[in-house]
Amino acid sequence: MRRFSGKIANVAEVLFRRVREWCGDAAYEEYCRAAKRNKETVLITPEQFYVEQLKRRYSRPSRCC
């Protein structure tokens, strides 16, 4: 029974992590991991990262109309 509940906890953790990645909530963590892999010395703060994401998203013209 303990092994089964441990597996359920692991599945729930992976599912939660995937949902966060899918909706973009884990973008800053992904940025930090990529910066660490690329051996970048200066990381921006989460607030700066959020502003940069907004600038990147809304700096291009919208094609909806």
Q: What is the pLDDT of residues 27-64, one digit of tens each?
A: 999 999 999 999 888 899 999 999 999 999 888 877 76
The number of domains in the chain is 1
DSSP 41: S
Region label for 34, one of left (φ > 0), alpha (ψ between -120 and 50) or beta (otherwise): alpha
Where do the H-state alpha helices sit in 1-65?
2-23, 27-37, 46-58
Domain annotation covers residue 23: yes
What's the rounded mean pLDDT across residues 9-25? 91
In a domain, 64, yes or no: no
* pLDDT for 31: 93
Domain that holds residue 44: 2-58
- The verdict on residue 65 lying in a domain is no
Domain-embedded: residue 63: no
- How would residue 1 be classed by pLDDT, with cut points 50, 70 and 90? low
